[in-house]
Amino acid sequence: MLRVSLPISYCSFFVRSIASMYNKRYVYISNGNKIWTLTFSPDLSNKTPLVLLHGFGGGVGLWALNFEDLCENRTVHAFDLLGFGRSSRPHFDTDAREAENQFVESIEEWRKEVGLEKMILLGHNLGGFLAAAYSLKYPSRVKHLILVEPWGFPERPDSAEHERPIPIWIKALGAILSPFNPLAGLRIAGPFGLSLVQRLRPDFKRKYSSMFDDNTVAEYIYHCNVQSPSGETAFKNMTIPYGWAKRPMLQRISQMDRDIPVTVVYGARSCIDGNSGSTIQSLRPNSYVKTIAILGAGHYVYADQPEDFNQKVKDICDSVD
């Protein structure tokens, strides 16, 4: 199988227009693993730092439109989740609970190594699911939880197939592809994988057009996902057919410390179910829960409407300190 490392030059591309002070490094955790980390405005220690967790198939580079604004008056950390981007790609347990715990423990080990006492934790997509899972296990470390278009919250309805009939050919294709990882096609395509990304996701070029007029973002996504599918395999083992979570977060969210404020951010044009915010509120009636919709944004809220997203997140952070 093709093995390609993510060129370090891409990290430079994604921060080249950022005027704020930053550093980049590996943070070493247990079992010889390392977490690729970017830290912006590291000297602003008077406020609670903001920590960004990217989504499935992504990496720190996709926050490129957000770093400059978000680190204006507080330290911002962003890192590649274990198994993704430039971080180590270890073997994950095939059990969904254990795989989730491996992710959570890697975040906690990262926090200890970086030396953060508390943080504002923001996660997108899979990162939102893991941010919630982390907050459940380590509530004393989270001052505010921000869930951006989070994956894995609702359970798959028993009547899903009756309410929204799934064509026979899709069921058949799903059965054929079920033994494979979600992004296996990129690796099977070999040198044609990059053009596959460009063809399937031309929207990424438009989203980042203010920073890049070439295929930098598509190349970054390709290199993030053409490597050994470590985190990708873990994600697959955490899902059931058609992308639902094996261990839905809404089944557990009521157990979260009542003192952790939660803000749920959705894109008004997203295809992701935006009802999780109101459901979280009903499950945590005595806790702070707020839902924010970003107009004109889809699933990649932070790239679709970066100015609005950045301001909303800064407002949330300012409510903390």
Residue 4 lies inside a defined structural domain of this protein: no
0.75 exceeded by the pTM? yes
What range does the domain containing 49 cover?
9-319
More confident of the two residues 247 and 228: 247
- The torsion of the CA quartet 229, 234, 237, 238, rounded to 10 degrees, works out to -140
Q: Which two tokens stand for residue 213?
A: 């007029």
pLDDT at 189: 67
Residue 152 lies inside a defined structural domain of this protein: yes
Number of domains the chain contains: 1
Residue 102 lies inside a defined structural domain of this protein: yes
State pLDDT tens for residues 180-224.
Answer: 566 666 666 666 677 777 777 788 888 988 888 888 888 888 888
Residue 20 lies inside a defined structural domain of this protein: yes
State pLDDT tens for residues 233-265.
Answer: 999 999 998 889 999 999 999 999 999 999 999
- What is the spatial distance between Cα 317 and Cα 321, in angstroms, rounded to a whole number? 7
CATH number for the domain harbouring residue 260: 3.40.50.1820
Mean pLDDT on 145-173: 69
What lies within 8 Å, CB to CB, of 123 at 6+ separation is 52, 53, 55, 129, 130, 131, 132, 146, 147, 148, 150
Residue 2 lies inside a defined structural domain of this protein: no
Report the mean per-residue pLDDT for the chain. Answer: 87
State pLDDT tens for residues 35-82.
Answer: 999 999 999 889 999 999 999 989 999 999 999 999 999 999 999 999
Q: In whole angstroms, how far apart are CA 149 and each of 39, 55, 123, 318?
A: 23, 9, 8, 21
Residue 3 lies inside a defined structural domain of this protein: no
pLDDT at 1: 36
Residue 164 lies inside a defined structural domain of this protein: yes
Residue 246 lies inside a defined structural domain of this protein: yes
